[in-house]
Amino acid sequence: MDSHGQNEQRVVWTVVGTDIGPLLLAATQDGLVNVVFHATDAVRDKTLDRLASRMGTEPVEAPDSPLLAEPIRQVEAYFAGARRDFDLPLDWSLISGFNRQVLRELASGVRYGAVVGYGELAGRVGQPGAAQAVGVAMGSNPLPVVVPCHRVVESDGGIGGFGGGLETKRKLLALEGVLPEPLF
């Protein structure tokens, strides 16, 4: 508790090396709150500033924190091909409304090795015709990889967009067996 008797939100973070580059993982006592692609120094600094503003506390680098132990273990196992599903508590506080509803459906309803169209996902949350809004939700996903926005594709078979870059999306889909491994 802080000096005013309020529970102070603690945010801890670390950077983990993966086959798609460094990922920043941030967690609170409620669960994993943020996963950020391409966590170079500049991206990391911008992310930490944004987290401090949104969460009301300065994130602390703590790679040995118990709050990060299981997320690190599961992310590493996923990229090693030893884990297909994430079983982590998630802190959804960085997203709300329709976007949260769509991302929760994605997390629970689209399994490893499967894909779903933007329009189909919109229908699953009772908003048929909201494919563009689903695209916006994917772009605002604070928990990519763990909440698998890379599994959302265009209905015509196109790969669609991706905040982590199309090459990253291709690598994730190849890891899950949806696309062939790149030749080089």
How far apart, in whole angstroms, are the C-alpha atoms of residue 20 and residue 22?
A: 7
CA distances from 129 to 67, 121, 153, 171, 180 (A): 39, 10, 15, 29, 31
> DSSP 3-state assignment of 26?
strand
Task: Decide if 149 is catalytic.
Answer: yes
Would the CA dihedral through 73, 79, 80, 84 be positive or negative? positive
**Catalytic residue (one of 147, 149, 153, 172):** 149
CA distances from 109 to 100, 106, 147, 152 (A): 14, 5, 10, 12
Q: Catalytic residues, which ones?
A: 149
